Amino acid sequence: MQTTFLAGERRPYVRDSEENRRMALIQATQDLMAEGGPLAATVRAIAERAGVTPGLIRHYFGSKDELSRAAYATLMDGMTAKGADALYGVGAEPGERLAAFVAASLRPPVLDSKAVGLWAGYLHQVQADPALLAQHEAGYLRYRDQLQVLIADLGRIASPARLRQDAIACNAVIDGLWLEGSVLPHGFGPGELVRIGLRSVGAILGRDLLRYSMFIPEIGMAPDGETE
């Protein structure tokens, strides 16, 4: 089962930096969790995928639970970082910025067939562990706040309560499309989810976001000929 050396032999002793080892173990944990869920993310499987022996997990993280927590924290940080990246290099017009943010959430690397698996794999551990739950809640609200700021910048007249509800609604559209696209990746044409997302968020907010499609990769000018 091990890849590089013959079975029965001693795994060659190779030294590496602490950061590399931690990263490799966290990456392996996320990969296995995404692919096979909690049942697949065993200590031995993680170690093998990371190219080390199980003992190193204890050495660097103390226990499997702590490695799991570290992997989840890394996941959350990456999510918000991607959200910020989406706005980098986009023009100053509020509508365009919002459209870029929505589009980025509905195509790779955010929309990825593995993403929902990872999310589902962690769900129960998150709900059972108060520390992870707080981290999750913080990450979710951070994302929604980013969205809410972009919506507020549109300059519509709306009460704070209404603004909050609009942010919840737009976030729900994005989450729902993200979910469906991840679970049934072949159920939608390329760019279809982005187009639906832009139109829906625009409808909820009373703006036309599809006019910014030309700035968005993989969409261009409505390839299926449907213009409105």
Q: Which residues bind DNA (CB under 7 A)?
A: 9-16, 18, 21, 41-45, 51-60, 63-65
Coil/strand/helix, residue 23: helix
Of 144, 45, 49, 39, the C-alpha closest to 101 is: 144
Of 78, 176, 71, the C-alpha closest to 129 is: 71
48 vs 166, which CB is nearer to DNA?
A: 48
Q: If binding is defined by CB under 8 A, does position 149 make contact with a second copy?
A: no
Under 8 Å between Cβ of 182 and 111:
yes
Smallest separation (angstroms) from DNA to the CB of 129: 13
The helix (H) or strand (E) run that includes residue 223 is none
22 vs 164, which CB is nearer to a second copy?
A: 164
Smallest separation (angstroms) from a second copy to the CB of 56: 23
DSSP 123-161: HHHHHH-HHHHHHHHHHHHHHHHHHHHHHHTT-----HH
Smallest separation (angstroms) from a second copy to the CB of 123: 4
- Return d(Cα 51, Cα 62) in angstroms, integer: 18
46 vs 110, which CB is nearer to DNA?
A: 46
- Among a second copy, DNA, none, the one that 186 touches (CB under a kind-dependent 5 to 8 A) is none
- Quick one: how far is CA 106 from the chain centroid? 10
- Among DNA, a second copy, none, the one that 169 touches (CB under a kind-dependent 5 to 8 A) is a second copy
Q: Which two tokens stand for residue 54?
A: 């199980």
Q: Which of residues 48-77 bind a second copy (CB under 8 A)?
A: none
CB burial of residue 201 (10 Å; 0-12, 13-18, 19+): buried
Smallest separation (angstroms) from DNA to the CB of 134: 21
- Among a second copy, DNA, none, the one that 104 touches (CB under a kind-dependent 5 to 8 A) is none
Q: Which of residues 94-123 bind a second copy (CB under 8 A)?
A: 116-117, 119-121, 123
CA dist 159 → 106, 142, 148 (Å)? 28, 21, 13
- Among DNA, a second copy, none, the one that 71 touches (CB under a kind-dependent 5 to 8 A) is none
Smallest separation (angstroms) from a second copy to the CB of 150: 17
21 vs 72, which CB is nearer to a second copy?
A: 72
Number of residues that bind a second copy (CB under 8 A): 49
